[in-house]
Amino acid sequence: MADNTSQVKQAEAILHAQDYLQILRTRWKEALFVFLLVFVSCAVITKLSTPMYTSSMRIEIKPPGETIDITAGGGAESPVRSHAAGTEYMTTQFEVLVSQRNLMEVAKKLNLPKQWGTSPEGAAGSLAGMIKVMPVRGTNMVDIIVSCSNASTACEICNQVTQTYREIRDRQENQQIQDAISERQEVFTRSADDLDNKAEAVRYIISTGKYLIGMWNGGSGSVSSSGAEEQKYRDLQSAQTQLINELERMRVHVGQLKGLKDEDLLEYVVNSELLSAESYASSRVRTLNETYHQEEDERAQKLMAGYGERHPIVLRLDEKHNSTKQDLYKGLVDMRDAMEKQLVAKEKELENLGVRIKEAHEALRGLKLEEREIIQAQEDYMNAKRTHDQLYSKLLQDKMRLNAHRSIVEVYSMPSVAGVPTSPNIKLNLIVGAVVGLIAGVVVAVVYNYFDTSVKSLEDAERHLSLPVLGVIPQDAGLLVLQGGNSPDAEAYRILRTNIELKKALYKARTFAVVSANAGEGKTTTLSNLAYVYAAAGYSTLMIDADLRRPRLARYAEIDGEFGLSNYLTNNELELKDVVFRTKVPNLYLMPSGPQPSDPSGVLGSYRMDQLLSEVSKRFDVVFFDSPPVLGVSDASLLVSKVDATLVVLQPRKMPLKALLRTKSIIQNVGGQIMGLVMNNVDISADTQYQYYTTYYSYYTNDKQRKEPNVGAPRPAEPLASAPVDAPAAPQRRRESSPASESDADLY
């Protein structure tokens, strides 16, 4: 099973690869155009590019030392925060290297504005385009790369960028430390005053005598605990919760007992298990209940022993049982009354307990507030003291740090003057251009093919339209009446004729409409050549030009088409022989379209058209109607609804799939029977899946030319008919007879 799955996946992968190769074979012109466009553009740009020289150096940007942080002490209006030596800081410094301020300093020191004849801002902008900063991943190192048309200038710029950055940052940090020392001194002074105030506040609270507190000498002392009061408050709350739950149960039972009497009262008391609760039922009621059930059991035993309902012993038991029942009912009523009184007492007890809880809460709250006051005062003092000590320590450090040496930049490699230009790299550019052009060409071909919704292959046509393909006609197939019957193109139409004959009996078809979705798909040429191979095979064949708007069949057959179908359909006095003409091909006849009527669709839908179909079906072996395009005019819809079968001619990559589906839907909706599709004008040389057609056609045709040089050729000496002839009267098909030996008397 696993082997089969692997083989299927491998076959699918091969199929997908073949699909992409097929796209490239089909769209090779577009792919080649894009490839040449990209490659030539790359070559031209490379040729016109100015040679550039590159100079580079590697440096390490040191993170700032422990600078100034006065946020802990508070009170500073504009505190200077410490710089984080993390990823964000380093990323910022990499950008500062090529910032406008830094580059303007570089341009001024190198006198670039005068050399380049521009402003300092313009020189800084030009430098920004020359300099590239590339951080080394995972380190604080950075590569500074300068590309310039002058090698020595590139080296000078590379050195000066680093030196200028070092000077600017040193000035900034010195100024930052000086400003911070001044601010920290002010904060330190305010912190000392705040510390004295908080110490005085603690001493005042102690002096009031509200608390028993240990000796306080500027440190911390222990205060009295409020744990006993808090435990008392919690115990009262717990008792209140238990009492509330008990009251809720009593209210439920009392509410239920009020409306019950005798049997119902007894049933509820027993089911609710009130008798088992000592707080509700007295010992007398519980005893009566036990006696009541014992008497019931004793009576049941007597009855099971064979005593009757009227037996003296049973009657005495009944009398005693009734007395016990009455006493039990009375005891239950007394119990209910006692529960009501008990409920009132419990509610009063709950009310008193609530008052006690409120008093305990107020006492505990006052104790907590007083306790929090002394604790908060001590915490404020200790926090202020810690802040004061920190500020004093940092103030001393900052004064020493001001004159200390700070490492800002460490240089690891110095720039040098380049001897050869680094760009443009002609070889690399051409290789990249070729690769990019090739990829772009393939992508364009695939994308173009993806957005092309037309039917592209025989498999697409059969899969999407659910119709068989009866024939594949090669590209640029000409008229067989001019080429002769031994050309490869003729064999394609013979295959089409064979497939039609194999399906002909299924449709009981003698009349065929040859249609297409739109104009220009070769349906008229297909009809002419198909009729030719039918006539060459001995079938009496009639071509009817039913395209009353743009007729062409008469011109292909070199017959005057000014008199024909439209005359017959509009004139009831004309007969079939008046509008049917011989062609120079034996067994092949033509009914031209005639003059264009004012209402072509109305003429084709007339009763006279039905008569025509009936008559030609009887007189000819096969009749082909050249139809207008299905999309756009209604003539084709009328025609396909009347003929026996319809052949749809389509060109690959011409019409969208939606249009072809619409064509199929129109034909089927009017009752037309589609026998199959004819793939016309197929580029067999570019599409490998059709190449076997060319091979077979050529092989077969060459073989026939060697063995039967004259079979299928039209009679060369027969003149062009210029007048109508009598139509044949239902001729019998003669497959074995040669068209050249067939006389006009047999047909008419």
What does the DSSP assignment read for 384-415?
Answer: HHHHHHHHHHHHHHHHHHTTS----EEEEE--
CB 395 within 8 A of CB 45: no
Q: Is residue 28 part of a domain?
A: no
Q: Is residue 167 part of a domain?
A: no
- Please say which residue of 367, 401, 435 terminates a domain: 401
Range in 291-300, 309-318, 450-459, 553-562 with the lowest mean pLDDT: 450-459
Q: What's the confidence (pLDDT) of residue 448?
A: 64
SS (H, E, C) 709-722: CCCCCCCCCCCCCC
Q: How far apart are the first and last CA of the chain?
A: 68
Phi, psi of 695, deg, nearest 5: -60, -50
Q: What is the mean pLDDT of the chain?
A: 77
Residues 6+ positions from 122 with CB-CB distance below 8 Å: 113, 116
CATH code at 621?
A: 3.40.50.300
Q: What share of the chain is helix, strand, coil (3-state, %, to 5)?
A: 60, 10, 30
Separation of alpha carbons 462 and 376, rounded Å: 89
Phi, psi of 106, deg, nearest 5: -60, -45
Range in 152-161, 325-334, 467-476 with the lowest mean pLDDT: 325-334
Q: Is residue 575 part of a domain?
A: yes
Q: Is residue 302 part of a domain?
A: yes
Pair of tokens at residue 55: 């100079």
**Per-residue pLDDT tens over the stretch 351-395:** 888 888 888 777 777 667 767 777 777 788 888 888 878 888 877
Strands 141-148 and 131-135, sheet pairing: antiparallel
Q: Is residue 101 part of a domain?
A: no
Residues 514 and 392 in one domain: no
Q: Is residue 59 part of a domain?
A: no
- Work out the pLDDT band at 459, boundaries 50, 70, 90: confident
**Per-residue pLDDT tens over the stretch 261-288:** 767 666 676 666 665 555 666 677 777 7
Residue 173's closest CA among 65, 35, 44, 308?
Answer: 65
- Strand arrangement of the beta sheet that strand 541-545 belongs to: 469-474, 674-682, 645-650, 511-516, 622-626, 541-545, 588-591, 581-582
CB 343 within 8 A of CB 247: yes
Q: Is the pTM of this model over 0.85?
A: no
**Per-residue pLDDT tens over the stretch 599-658:** 888 888 888 999 999 999 999 999 999 988 988 788 888 899 999 999 999 988 877 888
**How far lies 316's CA from each of 18, 324, 647, 663, in Å?**
108, 12, 111, 105
Does the structure show a pLDDT above 50 at 259?
yes
CB 418 within 8 A of CB 432: no
- Please say which residue of 401, 432, 449 terminates a domain: 401
Q: Is residue 88 part of a domain?
A: no
Q: What's the confidence (pLDDT) of residue 705?
A: 46
Residue 623's closest CA among 523, 537, 531, 504?
Answer: 531
- Work out the pLDDT band at 476, boundaries 50, 70, 90: confident
Q: Is residue 599 part of a domain?
A: yes
CB 678 within 8 A of CB 650: yes
Domain region containing 610: 509-690+712-741
Residues 513 and 389 in one domain: no
CA atoms within 13 A on the CB side of 142: 24
- Please say which residue of 401, 435, 453 terminates a domain: 401
